[in-house]
Structure 1
Amino acid sequence: MAALPVITCGGVDPQVLNVVKPLYLPEYEGKRKFPNLVHSVTSAASGAIELPYLLQGKALPTSEDPNASTGENPKLPVSIFIGALYGDKEVEEMRQACQGISSVPWLKMDLAVPRPPLGPGYAEHVVKRVKACMKRIEAEGKLEEDGLWLF
């Protein structure tokens, strides 16, 4: 299977991205600084602005973020992965901004599922759950459908 381009929604700490990045490979990729990502959203407010552009394959008009997809046409993402920092309100804000545009699954961490504390093993646990969810979505033939999935 060819690697799939994705968008992640997380915090602003580059150390977290550096830990998570290699864990998504080889299934997921992109062409920015972090080779497994089309883009990394760092807040719901920025996601509400940036995601509509990216879901249409358009470059962002301007950005201070070194991981932003400016100046070139980014690959169309096949999914959006949303971390534990984003609650229902933040996810809804981003989804509302993409209404009528999104045709990809949005994966949100299910906070009811136990997970290890932040630290060693946390990133591996989260990525394992994301990959299992994506396999389930693919098996159900819903990779090209908008929807919210819990992982």
Structure 2
Amino acid sequence: MDSAQIVSLVLGAIGTSLGVLNFVIEMWKAKIRLRITPVAYYSGPNGYLTFSNSLFTEKVGLVPSIGVEVVNFSRFPVTIYEVGVAPNGRVSGGRQPISRYIIDGGEKLPFRLPERESLTIYSKHSINEFSITEKSLAYVKTACDKTVYGDSEAFKVIKRSFSG
């Protein structure tokens, strides 16, 4: 093999590697990426007190309501079709959608969530209306039938307090 063939072989290998890398990156960009954070909130005369950490949940001592914060990390808008609690976690079946809710701005579901933006859906349901277990997770279902699950420290406190 002479030097011209070796250079051609090396450049061909580099080109192939870059092509595969570009393919992987483009596939990653086309993926729906949402962060789902269940929050505990208390409604008051001046709005909502919302938190996702456990310390504050335990100190307030009131019965919170559940909300779900959705952050769209995708590179395109995603339509949020359904939000709720999955008592059995990621196991299919038994999901409990939040049918009575409040969204800031008076929006309704389905809601088109632009890229790099967030939305919090507050449940009007009593926390006792949900079948909360230790495995429970909040979930969001998109219009293209993708379901994404999430948990938080505040939700873990709620699960310990209200499960079983």
Which TM-score band (shorter chain)? under 0.3
Q: Which has the larger radius of gyration?
A: 2
Q: Which has the higher strand share?
A: 2
TM-score, length-scaled by structure 1: 0.25
Q: Which has the higher contact order (CA 8 A, sep 6+)?
A: 2
